[in-house]
Amino acid sequence: MEVLALQWSRFLAWRHEYEHRVRYSEHGLGEGRSPADLPDLESPMRASFDAFVDETLPAELPRLAEWLRSSPPELQSLRLGRRHQISAVADLEYLVAAFLHRFAAEDGPEVRPKTVEFAADLATFFAESLYPEEGEREVDGTPYDSERHLLDLLGRLTSRLRASDARRIWEPILRTGAPAGYWVDDYIDAVWAGTLESESWTTYDFPAIFREMVAFAVTATNWTGRHSSDIAMALVCLNRWGHPRVRAEHAELLKALQPEWGAWVRDVALQNTHDARTVVHFFGEPGSDVIYVEALGWLADRERTASRYDSKLDRSVSEMLVSMRARHADLFSQTAPGAESARFLLARLAGRGDTLALQLTSEIG
What are the sequence ranges of the domains in the chain?
1-98, 246-365
Q: What is the CA radius of gyration of the chain?
A: 26
pLDDT at 135: 84
- Smallest CA-to-CA distance from 313 within 269, 343, 260, 364 is with 269
How far is residue 318's CA from residue 315's CA, in Å, rounded to a whole number?
5
CA 181 to chain centre: 9
pLDDT at 109: 44
Q: Which residues of 167-192 are buried (b: 16+ CB within 10 A; e: fewer)?
A: bbbbbbbbbbbbbbbbbbbbbbbbbb
pLDDT at 77: 61
Residues 6+ apart with CB under 8 A from 192: 155, 159, 234, 237, 244
169: pLDDT strictly greater than 90? yes
How far is residue 44's CA from residue 49's CA, in Å, rounded to a whole number?
9
Q: Residue 134: which pLDDT band, with cuts at 50, 70 and 90? A: confident
pLDDT at 108: 47
Residue 308 exposed, middle or buried by CB count within 10 Å (0-12, 13-18, 19+): exposed
Residues 6+ apart with CB under 8 A from 268: 232
pLDDT, tens only, 198-242 = 866 666 789 999 999 999 999 999 999 889 999 999 999 999 888
Handedness of CA 251, 255, 256, 257 (dihedral sign): positive
pLDDT at 96: 93
